[in-house]
Amino acid sequence: MASTLLLVLVFVLDLIAFGLAVAAEQRRATATINRDAEYNYCVYESDVATGLGVGSFFFLLASQLLIMFASRCLCCGRALRPGKPRSWAIVLFITCWVTFFIAEVCLLAASVRNAYHTKYRTYLVQHPPSCEVLRKGVFGAGAAFIVFTGIVSELFYVSYSKADEGSIPPRMDGGIRMKAFM
């Protein structure tokens, strides 16, 4: 039977990761061109989204590790009972890792790109500097994949638990039975 406490804990971790990713999307760095007497340069307003994105990254990582340790990563435990729950567990296991990887890449790339600020200045006669900022929606894509990962990982754990309930017990007798002769 699936552990309700584990499912609630994973849900809370995924919910925190989602909230941080949405907050990071709302607080992306914005830039304006500032003009001095001789130079043009970029001024960035907010850099809090980088920390929010990294926090979301680690909460999602903790959630995924918790599910994988509880299920022994599907490959490091005893054999599961054949049937539909095992088939679903395998499909959901692969899907869970794919959505997790996409979410982590979105969050990490968005955090790195949001932290990047152009440091150069241009002279007045030259073109204004390129104040590059993160495109809208990258943290949002990470948040969407956090939701997908949360749903799929919990379904995976439930399917794994159903397939693990009636698994074949390991053989305890490894040799010839000699108890009758004692």
pLDDT in tens, 96-114: 999 999 999 999 998 888 8
For the record, the structure tokens of 164 come out as 């693990």
162 closest CA partner among 60, 84, 49: 84
- What global pTM score does this model have? 0.80
Whether the pLDDT of residue 125 is over 60: the answer is no
User: Looking at residues 41-60, what average pLDDT do you find?
Assistant: 87
| Alpha helices, H only, 27-169 | 48-70, 84-115, 138-165
Q: How far apart are CA 71 and CA 158, in angstroms?
A: 10
pLDDT in tens, 7-43: 999 999 999 999 999 999 998 877 777 777 777 777 7
Q: How far apart are CA 159 and CA 1, in angstroms?
A: 10
